[in-house]
Structures are given as structure tokens and as C-alpha cells.
């Protein structure tokens, strides 16, 4: 599925490494596989870098223009349980 979606990098649990024997080699060609043990590893392999500053209470944050804010709010997704 990752290859069909055009992904180049896939993050997988280390426990699943043994299951790669079942995947045809042609499918794995061109994919960079990163195996992770915990959420810290996931973050390391998926985010470009850690933030340089951690927000603290009292920070004003970034001002989003009103028009942009309206667009973002109109695109919010609220999942429902059926």
C-alpha cells in the first residue's frame, strides 16, 4: 500500500521486521524502511527537527490572519462514532 501511495519512507515497529520475509523483494525496492522501538524513534524518523523553543505559559503565540483562521476553522473534522 505504501508503494502504491508513492511513499519513499515507511516507519515500522521493530517487532514486524521478521515479517518482511513474506513481502516480495520487488515491492521493497525503492522503499526506505525505518524500524522503531518507541514513540521517540517515530518522532525522530518522521519530523524534520524538534522545535527550537518550547511554548511556556504566557506566550502569545503566532497571530493567524482572520481570513486564514476562518478557513482553518471551516475545515475542522470532528469524527463521529456510528
Q: Mean pLDDT, 10 residues at a time, over the chain (82 residues)?
A: 88 94 89 93 79 65 78 71 68
Instruction: Please enumerate in sequence order all residues whose Cβ is within 8 A of that of 17, keeping only pairs 6 or more positions apart, or say none.
Output: 35
Whether the predicted model's global pTM rises above the 0.85 cut: no
Q: What is the pLDDT of residue 82?
A: 63
Query: Of 54, 51, 75, 32, whose CA–CA distance to 12 is shortest?
Result: 32
Amino acid at each position: 500500500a505504501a508503494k502504491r501511495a508513492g511513499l519513499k519512507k515507511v516507519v515500522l515497529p521493530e517487532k514486524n521486521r521478521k515479517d518482511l520475509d513474506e513481502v516480495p523483494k520487488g515491492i521493497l525496492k525503492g522503499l526506505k524502511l525505518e524500524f522503531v522501538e518507541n514513540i521517540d524513534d517515530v518522532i525522530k524518523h518522521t519530523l524534520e527537527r524538534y522545535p527550537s523553543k518550547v511554548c511556556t505559559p504566557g506566550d502569545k503565540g503566532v497571530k493567524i490572519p482572520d481570513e486564514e483562521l476562518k478557513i482553518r476553522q471551516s475545515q475542522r473534522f470532528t469524527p463521529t462514532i456510528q
